[in-house]
Each structure stands twice: as structure tokens, then as C-alpha cells.
Structure 1
């Protein structure tokens, strides 16, 4: 068989998978087209065009998975209609402006993806007789399809990228590598990989047989020597910690929460992957995991009693309840089914994101509202001389509510402050950036204190880093001067041979302008930081202005960290203004 025939047959199979999963394929192409337009037009972040295209991309990825779930159902037509409706509903409720909670947005999106994958595992076995072996076969088939399509995609991308780069260099073409790499990635991973994934899926999971070649060579090794080893290691760590608790008579700390949760998840996965083997000792994993989970509940109870509910703590509790339920279900019910466990997982995720007054964000926000209301009622007069702990707690509560954009609770705790903030931001000083937590605490009588200033999250910096931030982020940057673009970015500052530089793409994205920032950065390294490695500067000190033949730029750094060991600039948080000169 000739190479041309092999390629044509392969393309026919890919086309066949596109026709078999028509709606899923439609969403793949919609995703790819929106991505290509986004790369080609280079819309300003925050523009209507940018927001619409990004929303189409997110909705398309959700639609792809929802319709794929429907194709494996016996009631395919009904579920396809439902999945299309849900995709449209998801798109309708996506944010179409810049003022939204990115935390909730991305958490919702990731949970929806996880829900879809869980339903994809469950739906082929709905109303079928119990067959955990076929469920495992189906799960392995999905994993195998993802892995193989990804490997093929990487090989194809690298091969084509090298070929195109060679053509560009040999024929001296004026094409920026980053641009054609983006187009190539969209086509290869967005179109080829997804259709190859569809092609690799078993069309009838209910009748699938175990791929012995894959399982014996990979799955068996993974189960025996990776999953089981990890579980044993975690078990020994937690067992040693339990002995320490009993010996020293001390309460467990917060780290044990994550250790117990990780151990329980790996225990469940190990149990599932050991399905082909009837081992009477398998259930010992479940008993050990239940004992370890008791540590989790003690530790998380202490954290909640001390600090109150938060989104993370609520998610940990829900996940732990799901794990306990799954383990108890396996122990007491002889005809247990793995697909029900994953259906329960999908339900748990749905409740955590969309449950009426039961979702993780509402639980967090009601706790923060009660905390903020109590603090404000107990401290009617606030100033910069008020106890730092009180100012930190108020700043943290306001920041949490604003991060979730819970305007109702903010207005309830601090009447009219948010409305005034919106008016000032939108009307009076529309050319300046305002941070609401800074504005709110200023109106209450004191300057906002960040987590860093309150002593939180310093472990990453405290040993060898100088942390620099603005002493006034309420009104941080003057945008007057006719700039064309304003972006909030985490820039990469290159550090080589004691020289600091940044590279900004030109207007046509075919080249870069390079600016030397050595003098600007070095002045912060010379600061006297013997007493504290956390240093405040005024806005002028943190503003960098430069110009070349292509553009004029203005950067405002409202925070960054400089390593005393390597000299590298890490985590620079900036606003960048660009005025193109040609």
C-alpha cells in the first residue's frame, strides 16, 4: 500500500469521525475559527470583539464535550437537544464586560469540564447491568485516546513548525515565528487532535473488551508500581503523623488536609485500576483511606472554627464527603458500580458551583459578610492607627467579596460605597484605574492592607527576595498622552549578563521593540532592606517610560519581586500603555 493511499484512508477516517459526531465537530471548527480570528486581528484585551470571541471559544469547548456525551446515550436526539440548549445557556450567561469575577469564571469552567468528563464515563452504562470491568475498559479507552492523540499532535506540530521555519529562513520571509506557531497550534491541536480523539473512541463502550496490550504493558505497570507505590508512601506518611499526634498530644495542622485528600483520591483510583484482579486485600485500601479521612475532618473543622468558611474549605469538605460516600458504598453494597461514583462526583461539582445558597461562593461570601459586618459594628471609627489585625481582617473580607463581585453583600455591609466607586471610576476619572478594596478602605478611614502586608503568602519571598509595591494603588496610573493600548499584564523581564530588557510586539506583530530597563531595576536592588524585604515606593518611582522608532511605552509596576541570589525579576504585575509611532 502506497503512502498516498495510507494518508487518504486516514483522512477519510478523520472525515468519517467528523460526520459521525456532527455537532461535536461543529463546535471544534467554531472554536478553531474564533481562535484564528482572535490571533489574526489582535483585538485589544477588553474590547467587545475580544470578549465575544473569547466567550465563543469557551462555549465551543463546553459544547464539544456536552454533545459528545449525548452521542453515547441511547436517547441521543433528546440529549443532543438538551446539550445544545445548555451550551447556548452557558454562552448567554458568560460575562460580556470586564467587570466580572475571573475566579468564579474559571472555576465554573473547569468544573463544567470535569462534570462533562464524569458524565462521559457514566452515560454509556446508564440503565445497563453492572459491569465494572467494561467501565474500566471505557475509562482506559478515553485515557488512551487522549494520550495517543496528544502525542501525534505534538509530533505533527513540531514537524510542521520546523518545516515552516525552514521555509521562512531559506526564503527570507517576513513572518513572525510566534504568529504562525499560534495558527499551527490551533489547526493541529484544535482540529487534528480532537478529531483523532473522536476517531479513537470506542463506538460501543457497553461491549468493549479490555485492551490487554495496553493494560498489560501500561495499565498494569501503572496500577502496581505507580499508583500502589504512591498510596503506600502517603499511607506511611499519614500513619507516622497519627503516631506523632498521639505521642505529642497535639492537634493536626492544615497540611494534613491536603495529604489525606490526596491519599483518599489515589486510594480510590488504585482500587478502580485493580478491577481486573480479584484481590481480597483491595478493600484494605478503603479501610485505611477512611481512617486517614478522619484526620482530614478534624483538621478542616479546626480551620473552619478558627477562620470560618471559605471557598477552598467548602470544596474540601464536599470532596471529602463524596469520598467517604464512595468508600462506604463500595464496602456495604456488593453490586457497587463505578459509574454511580462518577455520577455522584458530577452532582457534587454541580452543587458546589450552582447550588442555590449551597454553592461554594455563596458559603464563602455569607461568612465574609458576617465577618465584615461584625468588624465594622465593633469598630465604628477606623484610621491608620487602628489595630493592624482589624485592618487586615476588614481588607481581607472586602477583597474576598469584591473578588467574587458580590455587590449585593458589599452594599449591605457598606451602603453606597460601591455605587460611589462606580461613579468615580466611570465618570469623573475614566482615564484612571481604581481598585475597589483600596477605595473602600480609604472611605472607611484607613489604607488598604494586602495579604503581603498582613504577613500572608510571604514564604515564597522571605528567604532571598526583595518585594516592591506601590504605596498608593487607589489611583495608580495617569493615561493621558494619547496612548493607543492599555493592558494589565505580567511581563517577562529578561535578565542576562546583568542587563534587564523587555520585548514588546510591534503594531503589525512582525517584530519586537526591545527596551533596556537596567537602570530602572537596579535602583530597587540598591535599596536598604536590612530591616524589611518588603519596600514601598511612590508611583513615580514605579513608572518606566521609554521610546524607540516603533512605539512609546509607559509601564507602571504596582508590585514585583527581585531575587537577591539570581537578580531575576519575578512576578512583576504591571499596567502597560503603548502609543504606536508607526
Structure 2
């Protein structure tokens, strides 16, 4: 086989750009935005917030411009009509940028969900738009087989190229002391994925889709892979699901929530397998594939019902969210697809991308959309909880004076955290006279900022925020519903010197715990003693010794300096503790620590740290 010459590669690249100029320009713009963002330090990225919007619009524009190009080729539009169509897509993308929040990284997650719905719909429509009205199923299958294999090839080439170039950069760095920054590897990956991968993929998109069905080619390797790998996997998944259904019937118990993801994964694998063998399933030597296809869709009806029962239980307990909305929609679609391919006479495989594209587009906007339905449901659940506990009356908040049960407080905190994270503070505003959008957080990271705002809103209810992962204390311990402060070490470089042993990261809570490690041919144990506010390093064996770190002074100092705060970034030197014995010096690097905000009784709630052990 002859390798392509540089001239051929150049000509093919120019030909691809001539066919998909807008899609490639969109990829270059989106990739350029990512490269600039990865160049800047995290603290400086707020000045470039508009680049995040360009990033999203750029990558969304790739599929939209490809969609426009395929539509223009199928309809045989004139040059002027082609230009008008692509300019219309450009206007839509510019409008999309303007409706996005000015700082998307700190905006509610609802905008990211909409982006994902738009992107999914565009990809599904790309698969079907050349054959939306006419065209034999063989042409539809051949077109999608070609772009599917081209996508896999593009991913393989891209990552092999990245691996090779990354190793070359590392070699130059180590051999010639060039000191290549770590972010250059990240930028290289984004450039290859955003530009090279897109260019390579688009160069393999079939051109004459009207006659593509006349040159149907079925790869033998694809047949072997599908028949002997994918279909057996589907059978295994199906056996597991049916065994689980029998277990539910025998024990008369509700299905577990995560079974929905198993059903969706199994069904996706099965449908993909059957689509891959679709052209040959009716041939005489492969009649068994037609039987498998019919029986498969009939067999997934019970698992689809199981999925809907499992997600219905989750929604009944915890309410509706975007993720559960997606699972419900996909479960209903799966049931519809099973009934369609089992009982319909037409059985057109075009139904799959068309219906999924329509569902993705419908779920992105409108009162029936995922975000709208989820917001209404969760605000309603919070309304019921607050009203039942006399915090909300006549549409206004009255702070509660008594301590509510732990589970109720945690449930209220969880719902508020979800609403603030996904939808912002606007849905809660009607209950307050104070402007909730004035509540600010100094946290750099979005998750911490969301928690800070949620903590402050929950405090307006007269409650103390409880994390979703927190559990009621064990028997013999009392739940103290006091506020807390999170202290986080500012990013810094901590140098190592001499023969040091690094232990970590270590995670301790307010329960007694211990961690073992080995250093200098000796066994060590790190012991957490929350009642004494002490962390001890104990060396066992003949060279036994004990190095203790009292935390009381550190905790009191932090609380006094930052009383009533929620998240505080501290310089590295203020969260480094040093203790020594006759033979050992230990530095405790506190990465983060949650402290009870109570000047009368401070206490560590959660702590993450590294330990640097040096033998003298």
C-alpha cells in the first residue's frame, strides 16, 4: 500500500476546507478560545469570560455548519443559497453567544444542559438530513457507517499523534533543559482534538450521498466484531437484567436506581449492534440475524419497564432533576422503539436519529423542557418542606427558631444547593425581600462558590447548611447543627529537601481513624483523635516514637480570624504545621480543613492533608 504524499495531503486538506469552510473556521475559533483560556492563570480567566461563550458556540457550530453543508448538497442549492444558509447559521450562533450569561463558568448549569441538548440534536440530524425525504435505507446505512468509521479513525489518529508529539516534547524538555510548561501538553491535545481531528474527520464525509447506496460496502471485520463481540455482550447483559427482574419478583422489592443506567447501556449496545448488521440481516446465510433483531426488541420491553419503575421511585423520593428527566425520556423512547421495531411493518432505521434529535431539541426549551420541569418540581418540593416546618407562610420566609430534625435540614439544604447550582437564585427570589443575587462568594471554584451561596440562603431560613453526604452521627454522639468554615490552602509549590517520605493525601473526619504507611524501613501509623483535637504519628518496632500535632490552637486562631465566613483561602505558610522528635521531622501540609464556626467549642469536621517525613 502506497503512503499518501505530502502533496496529496495538502490537496485533500484544501479540498476539505473548500467543502466545509464554515465548519472548520468554527472549529478553529472554538479551539483558539480554549488555547487562550489554557494559557492564562485561573485567577486571570475572569477577564476572558467571553472566550468561554466563543468556545461553546465554536464547537456547536461545527455540527450545525456540517448540517447546513449536507443539506445544501442534497438540495443542490446555488452558490448564493449556500452562502445565505451558512450565514443564517452564523447569525444563530452569534445570537446564541449573546443570550449566554456574560460569565458562563459562574452561571447556573442550566445553560450547559441546553448546550448539550443542542449539540446532541445537531449530531442526530447530521446522520439523517441527507436522507430526510427520500433515499433507500442502504444509502442511509452506508453514509452513517462511513462517518462512524471515519470518526473512530480520526480519534485513533489524533491520540496516537498526540502521544507521539507529547513524548517528543518530553524528550526535548529532559534532554535539552528547554523547560516546556505543563500547559503546553494540554494545549497540544486541544489543538489536535479541535482542529486536526475535525479536519481529518470531515475529509472522509461521503460527498455524493444520492448514489452512495449503489456502492454498498460491508467490511468483513465489522461483521466479525459485531457477531462475536457486541452481540454476545448484549446477551450477557440481557441475562443479568432478566435475573435481576426475577430477583425483584421473588423478593418483592423495588429495583435499585442505578439499574436504569445499566438498561440504557445494554440497550444502546444492542441497538448499535443491530444497526451495524442491518444490511446483511436479510441475506440467506444470515437469517438468524433477522430473528435476533426481532427477538431483541421484544426482549427489551420488560427492562424498559423496569427502568421506568426504578426512575419513578427515585423521582418520588428525591424529585425531578435534569438527569432523571433524561433517563425518563430515554426510557419512554426505548419502550417506543421496542414496540415500533416489533410490531410496525415499516421498521425504518431512520426513525432512530430522527426521533432522538426531535426529543433532544424538545427537551432543551419550553415549559416541557428538562430544565423547566425540573425547576418547577424542585421549587415545589422545597415549598412543601418549608411550609410544613413553618418557615414559609403567605409566600414569605420567616426564619425558624427551633432546630429541625437532621434529615429535614439536610433535605432542605440539598434542594437549595441543586436550585442554586442548576437554576441560580432567581427561582427563590419571590420568597425574600432581600436581593439574593447580591449574595457573593470569594471562592475561586464554582462548586465551592455554589456551596457558599447555598449556605447563606439556608441561613436565611434560620438553619445551618448540611452537606448531602453528611450522615446523622453514630449512637452516643450528638449532632451539633452549628455553622462551619472551610479553609483551603492557596495553590503553592512546596519544595522537598533531603530524604523525605511523602504520605497523602490523607482524609480525616470528626471520627476516630488511622492510616498506616511505611517510611525508612519502619511501620508508621497516623492516628486521628478528634476528642483531643490531635493527630499523632506513631512509629512502631524497635525505633518506636510518637510525634503529635495539637490542632486546638490552629482551629481557634482560624475561627477567631474568620468568624461567620464560609470559605476562606489561606496562604500556604498559615496551614503548614511542623513537629519534630529526636530522630524525625514531620511537616503537615493542610490542603483543606472544615472547622465548626463556634468560638465556644471549635472542632475539626473534615481535613485533607499531606505529610512530609524526614529522618534526621
Contact 1:421 1:439 in 2 (8 A): no
Corresponding residue of 2:101: 95
1:545 aligns with 2:571: yes
User: What is the deviation of 1:319?
Assistant: 0.8
Contact 1:392 1:449 in 2 (8 A): yes
Corresponding residue of 2:381: 371
Q: How big is each residue's C-alpha offset from its partner over 1:353-405, in whole Å with a ceiling of 9 and x where there is no partner?
A: 21x11112222221121111122222126356311122122112211211123
Corresponding residue of 1:393: 411
Corresponding residue of 2:7: 8
User: What is the deviation of 1:89?
Assistant: 2.2
Corresponding residue of 2:132: 126
Separation in structure 2 between the aligned mates of residue 398 and residue 271 of structure 1, nearest angstrom: 44
Corresponding residue of 1:21: 20
Q: How big is each residue's C-alpha offset from its partner over 1:296-353, in whole Å with a ceiling of 9 and x where there is no partner?
A: 2222333333333232222111111112222222233322322232111011112222
Indicate the SS of the match to 1:149: helix
Corresponding residue of 1:422: 438
Corresponding residue of 1:512: none
Alignment of 1:486-497 (within 5 A): none
Contact 2:413 2:466 in 1 (8 A): yes
Corresponding residue of 1:115: 121
Counterparts in 2 of 1:493 and 1:98: CA distance versus 1, 3 Å:
farther
Indicate the SS of the match to 1:527: strand
User: What is the deviation of 1:163?
Assistant: 3.6
1:306 aligns with 2:306: no
Q: How big is each residue's C-alpha offset from its partner over 1:499-525, in whole Å with a ceiling of 9 and x where there is no partner?
A: 1589xxxxxxxxxxxxxxx9xxxxx95
Separation in structure 2 between the aligned mates of residue 181 and residue 239 of structure 1, nearest angstrom: 46
Indicate the SS of the match to 2:28: helix
Separation in structure 2 between the aligned mates of residue 375 and residue 197 of structure 1, nearest angstrom: 52
1:557 aligns with 2:592: yes
Counterparts in 2 of 1:13 and 1:425: CA distance versus 1, 3 Å:
closer
Separation in structure 2 between the aligned mates of residue 543 and residue 66 of structure 1, nearest angstrom: 42
1:184 aligns with 2:219: no
Corresponding residue of 1:328: 339
Counterparts in 2 of 1:280 and 1:159: CA distance versus 1, 3 Å:
closer
Counterparts in 2 of 1:539 and 1:314: CA distance versus 1, 3 Å:
farther
Contact 1:32 1:191 in 2 (8 A): yes
Corresponding residue of 2:585: none
TM-score scaled by length of structure 1: 0.75
Aligned residue among 352, 360, 367 for 1:349: 360
1:403 aligns with 2:421: yes
Separation in structure 2 between the aligned mates of residue 16 and residue 335 of structure 1, nearest angstrom: 39
Contact 1:263 1:289 in 2 (8 A): no
Contact 2:488 2:570 in 1 (8 A): no
User: What is the deviation of 1:223?
Assistant: 1.6
Counterparts in 2 of 1:444 and 1:210: CA distance versus 1, 3 Å:
farther
Indicate the SS of the match to 1:557: strand
Counterparts in 2 of 1:207 and 1:497: CA distance versus 1, 3 Å:
farther
Contact 1:114 1:346 in 2 (8 A): yes
Separation in structure 2 between the aligned mates of residue 168 and residue 317 of structure 1, nearest angstrom: 51
Alignment of 1:147-296 (within 5 A): 147-173=152-178, 175-208=179-212, 215-217=219-221, 219-276=222-279, 277-278=281-282, 279-281=289-291, 282-296=293-307
Unaligned runs of 5+ in 2: 283-288, 392-399, 443-447, 474-480, 506-518, 520-524, 532-550, 560-567, 575-588, 596-605, 610-616
Please tell me whether Structure 1 or Structure 2 has the larger radius of gyration of its CA atoms.
2
Q: How big is each residue's C-alpha offset from its partner over 1:540-565, in whole Å with a ceiling of 9 and x where there is no partner?
A: 399763369xxxxx9872569xxxxx
Separation in structure 1 between the aligned mates of residue 260 and residue 557 of structure 2, nearest angstrom: 41
Counterparts in 2 of 1:270 and 1:375: CA distance versus 1, 3 Å:
same
TM-score scaled by length of structure 2: 0.71
Counterparts in 2 of 1:333 and 1:497: CA distance versus 1, 3 Å:
farther
User: What is the deviation of 1:420?
Assistant: 5.2
Corresponding residue of 1:32: 31
1:528 aligns with 2:529: yes
Corresponding residue of 2:46: 47
User: What is the deviation of 1:29?
Assistant: 2.1
Indicate the SS of the match to 2:572: strand
Contact 1:310 1:364 in 2 (8 A): yes
Indicate the SS of the match to 2:592: strand
1:137 aligns with 2:138: no
User: What is the deviation of 1:12?
Assistant: 1.7
RMSD of the alignment, in Å? 4.1
Contact 2:139 2:209 in 1 (8 A): yes
Separation in structure 1 between the aligned mates of residue 323 and residue 21 of structure 2, nearest angstrom: 38
State the number of aligned residues: 500
Counterparts in 2 of 1:7 and 1:46: CA distance versus 1, 3 Å:
closer
User: What is the deviation of 1:228?
Assistant: 1.0
Separation in structure 2 between the aligned mates of residue 364 and residue 525 of structure 1, nearest angstrom: 45
Indicate the SS of the match to 2:278: coil
Unaligned runs of 5+ in 1: 427-431, 457-469, 480-485, 503-517, 519-523, 549-553, 561-569, 574-582
Contact 2:305 2:335 in 1 (8 A): no
Separation in structure 2 between the aligned mates of residue 285 and residue 319 of structure 1, nearest angstrom: 17
Contact 2:142 2:217 in 1 (8 A): no
